[in-house]
Amino acid sequence: MNFALFSAHAERVELCLFDGGAERRVDLPGRTGDVWHGHVSGLAPGARYGFRVHGPYEPQQGHRFNPNKLLVDPYARQLDGRVQWSEALCGYRYGDPALDLSFDERDSAPCVPRSVVVAGRPDRDEHGGPCTPWRDTVVYEAHVRGLTRRHPTIAETLRGTFAALAAPAIVGHLRSLGVTALELLPVHAFVDEEFLVRRGLSNHWGYNSLAFLAPEPRHLGDRGLDGFREAVRTLHAAGIELLLDVVHNHTGEGDELGPTLCYCGIDNATYYRLRDGEPRRYVNDTGCGNTLAVERGPVRRLVLDSLRHWVEEMGVDGFRFDLAVALGRTDQGVDAGAPSSRSWPAIRCSPGRSSSPSPGTSVPAATGSADSRQAGRSGTTAFATACDGSGAATAASFPSSPGACTGRATCSTRPGAGPGRA
């Protein structure tokens, strides 16, 4: 099995393989450009893994490498477990007067979810969803847990999970309202903020992403990824498309005093926009502590690859981009041409598709051509849909990227990789 991880500034990358409570570390021996890679034999889908990345811990230069911290794979298709808040998650000594200029040597592995190797989807639905023309579309926004958790006719074991979306009561209710598209609030694996955990609370809404290709574990239930795919097929059969609310403007790692869970430990200076002249601090255009540097190639590729994954492997029909205007920002300000030139070329160039910015704002929006599906916006959001002129769903030709690759997945010299917890 091949593993690969992008890091332009790392000095060494360790792949961490988990079998129960035992951890085995293997150096990734190859480096092609800024991608570290290696092959491990004898692994199968279901294997748990993570990464430890070595390099300078120099916050004042924008670098926060700390190999004591287990890191989630940005390309993980599934996570096992959830982040368990602990001071050991921080790359610095929590409570030290020097703040993030100090260095923490505690192992964070007991507190971090494990990334899970997932086989390629064998039963891809080549026909896709209904692709209702935009002029006829009625969107119903819902949270998977809020919609199903207390419904009396849904089996208790399914309530609050993706599989519950396929329940006759839910599908029937949507159809009775004339709904043609169900838009789910964030489904990406996310992090409960520390201040909530300290109060015995949790993040319900999910606007605090950790892994863009992995569903939130607490919503998977016993049926796992298949439960999500089955729900998509059932909705499609009922003439209902599935849209996802995606958060690609920031991550759950927060500001310079946040935890080291993934991106800041892999390559902080690449994944995040840092303040000019003060790279210890993050640009906080999002109000959430950090801003992803989507204008940079590796970060842009991760976002686009995640969209492709949800369309091709999970069967969804489109996306609503949270705080979409942030995706057009650069170190020089808002790039009005970003949606059409740099940030979203793969959406624009996909076969059978066309795209245009939403009116009045600089945001990406992929649109169908002959079926009159148009870009729509609400505030700083935009929809991207996966339909071609015939009304059939199409998979965008985004660049392929690794992570842990098996089955149909390809593992070339491109980004991927991170940790997890059993």
Q: Which among 274-278, 338-342, 379-383, 390-394 has the top mean pLDDT?
A: 274-278
27 falls within a domain: no
69 falls within a domain: no
315 falls within a domain: yes
369 falls within a domain: yes
9 falls within a domain: no
Of 15-29, 172-186, 317-331, the least confident: 317-331
pTM of the model: 0.84
User: What band does 333 get if pLDDT is binned at 50, 70 and 90?
Assistant: confident
Whose CA is closest to 182, among 309, 318, 307?
318
Residue type, 350: S
Rounded-to-integer distance, Cα 264 and Cα 251, Å = 10
Q: What is the mean pLDDT of residues 220-243?
A: 95
CATH number for the domain including 216? Answer: 3.20.20.80
pLDDT digits (tens, 9 = 90+) for 352-409: 233 332 322 222 333 222 222 223 323 333 445 444 333 333 322 223 344 654 332 2
82 falls within a domain: no
3-state helix vs strand vs coil in the chain, percent to 5 = 20, 25, 55
Taking all residues of the chain, what is their mean pLDDT, rounded to a whole number? 83
Q: Is the pLDDT of residue 46 over 50?
A: yes
- Exposure b/e, 142-162, CB count within 10 A at least 16 = b: bbbbebbeebeebeeebbbbb
Task: Check residues 299 and 343 and name the one with the higher pLDDT.
Answer: 299
Considering its fold, how many domains does the chain have in total?
A: 1
93 falls within a domain: no
For residue 331, the model assigns a pLDDT of 75
Give Cβ neighbours of residue 333 (< 8 Å, ≥ 6 apart). Answer: none
Q: Is the dihedral of CA 278, 280, 283, 289 positive or negative?
A: negative
419 falls within a domain: no
For residue 127, the model assigns a pLDDT of 59
- Which residue range forms the structural domain that includes residue 321? 134-250+294-399
